[in-house]
Amino acid sequence: MISARLRRAAAWVRQKWPPSRHRQVPAAYRRVFDTPDGKLVFKDMARFCFAAETTHVPGDPQTSAANEGARCVFLHIAAMCRLSREECIDMIQQVDDDRGF
């Protein structure tokens, strides 16, 4: 079953890219992030983009909104790479393992 996140990513590609690119754009994401350097960048983005922590900052709605925007970028990249929820969780756990948590 395709997740809502993957459906939104597919709809975004169809809306923003010409038909000739509908398969090429997600494939490019997968090629880029399926390299050792790409995996390191993905892990860094998981940390920077609040993939495994709350985006909410009590009493600061502007910072909360900015943090949620960063998280949205990470989720878009994960969806374009066609990573399942479980694969994202595994990646986040790997990030935590790298931190020593």
CB-based contacts of 92, cutoff 8 Å, min separation 6:
46, 51, 52
Counted domains in the chain: 1
> Distance between CA atoms of 22 and 17, rounded to whole angstroms?
6
Tens of pLDDT along 62-87?
Answer: 999 999 999 999 989 999 998 887 88
Q: Please state the pTM of the whole predicted model.
A: 0.81
pLDDT tens per residue, range 29-41: 999 998 888 888 9
Which residue range(s) make up the domain with 30? 4-99
